[in-house]
Amino acid sequence: MKFILGFCFCLIVLLAGGVALLYSGAYDVAATHPHTPLARWILDSGKRRSIEARVDGIQIPTDFAQMEPRQAFAQFRDTCTSCHGAPGVERSEAGLGLQPPAPKLEDAATGWDARELFWIIKNGIRMTGMPAFGPTHTDDEIWALVALVQRLPSMSADDYRRLDPASASGRPQTP
Ligand code: HEC
């Protein structure tokens, strides 16, 4: 009985402390300050488990292996590079100010398989700045983006630039 009372007391003290911290304004929400290592670990672990638990029903299309990165190039350039950059392309000013930062996908893509990438792009990641593209894009468009994102780690800046149809015709290139 004593143990249960002690446990309840500690719980109430912790809750009251949490509420006091929130209402006092002591918690700093500035995007110029990164999360503490503990908060980052909690968010990253939660994100990975959450995504892994949700990909089971996702079917990879039969033509996925044949999808060309060029197919989604314009979409990727116009929708993703402002936050993530690309090989040889820096993030925009808005992208550079994000917290948590949007990782360079040429580094981060290897940490996810195709179905996980599809889930992330379709559903987004709440409270991080990563938007959900499912409401505005078809599954086929998202799979084409996955095919491009998976190739980024092996692409040089020149390889990436060559995906732009404008580069073949000698027209000026947009980032
Ligand atoms: C407005 C900014 C923004 C845009 C636009 C954006 N993202 Fe993101 N994205 C983020 C942020 C921020 C994260 C990091 C989330 C985190 O740390 O949990 C992220 C995470 C990701 C991840 C997971 C990487 C990892 O290891 O955490 C993938 C994959 C991804 N984005 C793909 C895309 C693709 C593809 C597009 C374009 C269709 C896109 N994103 C557009 C901000 C953006």
Could you tell me if 99 and 32 are in contact, meaning their C-beta atoms sit under 8 angstroms apart?
Answer: yes
The pLDDT tens digits along the chain (175 residues) read: 788 888 999 999 999 988 998 899 988 889 999 998 998 999 999 999 999 999 999 999 999 999 999 999 999 999 999 999 999 999 999 999 999 999 999 999 999 999 999 999 999 999 999 999 999 999 999 999 999 999 999 999 999 999 998 876 545 445 4
- Nearest residue (CA) to ligand 1, atom 43: 130
Distance 64 CA to ligand 1 centre (A): 21
The residue assigned the tokens 């939660």 is: 46
CA dist 152 and 89 (Å) reads: 12
Q: Whose CA is closest to 91, among 82, 99, 100?
A: 82
Ligand 1 atom closest to residue 101's alpha carbon, by position in its atom list: 12
Report the alpha-carbon distance of residue 124 to residue 20 in Å, rounded: 32
Q: Look at ligand 1, atom 30, and give the residue with the nearest C-alpha.
A: 121
What's the CA-to-centroid distance between 75 and ligand 1, angstroms?
14
- Contact indicator for 43, 35 with CB cutoff of 8 Å: yes
Residues with CB under 6 A from ligand 1: 47, 79-80, 82-84, 98, 100, 102-103, 105, 108, 111, 117, 120-121, 125, 128-131, 133, 145, 149
Cα–ligand 1 centroid distance for 77 (angstroms): 13
Query: What's residue 142's pLDDT?
Result: 98
